[in-house]
Amino acid sequence: MKIIFTTQLPHEGFQLLSNTPGVQLIMPEQERLDIPSFIQSAHTDAEILVATFDYTVSKELIDSMPNLQLITNFGVGYNNIDLDACRARGIRVTNTPQPVIEPTAELAFALMIDIARRVSEFDRKIRGIGPQTEPLRFGVMQNLSHSLYGKTLGIIGMGRIGLSLARRALASGMKVIYHNRKPYRTGEALQDAELQNGDKRLQDGQSPTVESTQYVDFQTLLQDSDFVSLNLPYTPESHHIIGKPELGMMKRSAYLINTARGAHIDEKALVEALQSGIIAGAAMDVYEHEPEINPELLTLNNVVLSPHTGTGTWEGRIAMCENVAENILAFIHNEIDKMNIVL
């Protein structure tokens, strides 16, 4: 069975596959697969495609692979894949939800601390780089910032990553409210979200994290939160879920955190809100027109920017590779119940 990769990935994460008889792993010679060259190659007969979350799997690419049976996405999001083309061909699609949980929640929490305590801003000022609105001075009442302790975190999208972020916030003395399409029921089993994530306190189907949080409607979350974190998957319905009206509902002292998908936010409206003081600041790991970044964001001191690296740890990358390998092996052995199927 031939497996094509869209992007070079660590070989050590695919040892299970490498040791499987009859399996051929083909990674691109350069960092990323060049579609025109690939279409002219002898590898279009591959049965499996491993795609990274930042690589567009177009109908053109899918149509060029007549034997394609499985696309396994390296990442939890899969809006990079033309699902309609897959659906028309009956091609399975999987993702890697488990390994991304802790690294992404970790970065979201780091961005919260960074923007509130002005870590990156002060670093730039000390180095004398970036926008300088005033000279740096040392002093008791200089360089003040805001604490997370005692503040309210509002999580939009309380899934696996949201739960992991909530756990960190609660441990730091924050109040956590959340909004989903529907609230968790008291005592609802959350094994997939927490027990598999290493939370051994889960007993009798109850979640200690969820039981310590409060479900609120969307407008209440925006109005009451000191930090608003986006942790929901991207769908057409969630496009620009944060725009000018929503930003206007937030506290002027509030911070917006986005480690989910850039198109959740209307960046033009966000820039205007940051410039005019509608909200206090924003910290972002994803962008509306990624990899292009709105140049106006680069001029603002009340913004922290990260290059879509929520899952970007060595440990996380290896774990994601291993999860991809597990999905493929389950597919090969027809163990469908062991696959992370999204289509």
The one catalytic residue in 47, 272, 290, 296 is 290
205 DSSP assignment: T
The sheet carrying 281-284 orders its strands as 214-215, 175-179, 152-156, 227-230, 255-258, 281-284, 303-305
Residue 150 zone, left/alpha/beta (φ > 0; ψ -120 to 50; rest):
left
Does an H or E element contain 152, and which? strand 152-156
- Are 33 and 7 in contact by the 8 Å Cβ rule? The answer is yes
Under 8 Å between Cβ of 343 and 87: yes
> Which residue in 43, 89, 239, 308 is the catalytic one?
308
Residue 261 designated active-site:
yes
Residue of 168, 261, 264, 317 marked active site: 261
Token output for 69: 């049976």
| Annotation says 333 is catalytic | no
Q: Which residue in the block uniquely carries the two structure tokens 């974190």?
A: 229
Confirm whether 246 is a catalytic residue. Answer: no
Euclidean distance between CA atoms 98 and 180, whole angstroms = 20
Distance CA 233, CA 239 (A): 10
Q: Which active-site residues does the annotation give?
A: 261, 290, 308
